[in-house]
Amino acid sequence: MGIGRDGVLVNIGTKSEGIIPPNEMQSLGPDGASTLFEGETVVAYVVQPETDEGQVLLSLDRARGEQGWRVLQKRFEEGESFETLISGYNKGGLLVNVEGVNAFIPLSQLVGIRPPAEGESESALGENVGRSIRLKVIEINRRRNRVILSERAALQEWRSQQRDILLSELAEGTIRQGKVTSIRNFGVFIDLGGADGLVHLSELSWDRNSSPEDLFHVGQEVDVYVMKVDPETKKIALSIRRAQPQQWDAIVDEYQIGQIVAGQVTKLVTFGAFARLDGPVEGLIHVSELADRRIQHPREVVDEGDVVPLKVVRIERDRHRLGLSLRAARDEAEKAGWTFDSQGAVIAAPEGIAERFGGLSEHQKTSAAEAIAAAAAVETAAAAPAKKSTRAARGAAAPEVEAPTREPEPVPQTAMAAALQEAEAALLASEPQKTSEDEAGS
């Protein structure tokens, strides 16, 4: 046997030699005759007993085709996927030769290949010729010489198998590398090599104010921390921020236990409130650390967006948790110019602090206005009986009583504190003073 320009010459044991032209050995792939070597035994189909040149025209493809139909039928019945090489294309999809049988892959059954746009050349599909592809038989009809294959179905089957393997291998607490496959407003999906896991919005970054679209893009490779694997639902919970513990350590190095810091409430939960400090780090204010009184829900004291003073009470580096307290910070905060209402809620902050977080929340502004209105109402109500007592004292011959000496009031540190102190002063002035006759009568 030898390889010539017109094809492969084959010794078939007769006076005439056989020849296999290139178009009759497409099942060998794009390399064709180069995959054969001299002395190799091949099975060929006789197409023509004698050509004009006196040779026997043979075909590898047709010989393999007989066997190929049986192989394809078996793969179809068993749902088996396989790999082969793309041999051609047309406007509807790609062409392959499987065991000597020509088959078709519609564009709708391809993954990652879009149909040519209007006016765009079909030659773009030609770039895939020679590429290896995994396929699955979805339709076979030998009488019509029709075989339809699908890359999409094969990929789904492969991913299902890989998912089962991956779920058995994944261990919670380990760090794996994956690729971003999808970005949603609630998080990011990561392909771990056969199965997708979800990184929830809260686990994307230590800075919870950044959106997923600003942080990542599809196709980006990232390290993820495996938080939870559920074999029953086949769901995988991942975290990107926990795969970067050094970033958290660097951030919390700026804080010390007992330090008073400003923070903004970002989320309320039944067991407390999360607050963001200066920089991309959040801590938890447990419900017991919100006020000196017992409360049922954090919203009784704070609301999302509130700017509040906080004391750092706990730093758990191994668990990446920061414990904060509002009630423990109150005494020092009031000395620094923070103002609280009677319920323990913050209604005013020292100048410049709230602006770092975008200003006081609407909830705090409303509470401050209500406090001012309440103080004004108390002052008005206190002034009325004071005037009435003065007129009564003028009509009676009561002995003169020296007015009580009032202690000098400290200079309020905020306008809100001033309003509250004026209200208290008005109440004090409205209290009636006992005379010696009153004491005698009693």
CA pair distance 33, 430, nearest whole angstrom: 112
Phi/psi at 366 (5° precision):
-65, -45
Q: Where do the domains of the chain lie?
A: 2-62, 83-155, 170-243, 256-366
Q: Among 61, 51, 53, which residue's Cα sits nearest to residue 22?
A: 61
Check for a shared fold between 170-243 and 256-366. yes
Write out the chain's pLDDT in tens, 442 residues: 677 677 888 888 887 888 888 878 876 776 767 777 777 778 788 888 888 888 888 888 778 777 888 899 999 999 999 999 999 988 889 999 888 789 999 999 998 777 766 666 667 788 888 889 999 999 999 899 899 999 999 988 888 888 888 888 888 889 999 999 999 988 999 999 878 899 998 888 876 667 888 889 988 999 999 999 988 888 899 998 888 766 677 778 888 899 999 999 988 999 999 998 876 678 899 999 999 889 999 999 999 999 999 999 998 887 778 899 999 999 999 998 999 988 888 988 888 888 888 888 888 888 888 888 887 887 787 776 655 555 555 555 445 545 555 554 454 455 555 555 655 554 455 455 544 444 444 4
The correct CATH number of 170-243 out of 3.40.50.2300, 1.10.10.10, 3.40.50.410, 2.40.50.140 is 2.40.50.140
Side-chain half-sphere of 241: how many Cα atoms within 13 Å? Answer: 23
Looking at domain 256-366, what is its CATH homologous superfamily?
Nucleic acid-binding proteins (2.40.50.140)
Pick the CATH number of 83-155 from 2.60.40.10, 2.40.128.20, 3.40.50.300, 2.40.50.140: 2.40.50.140
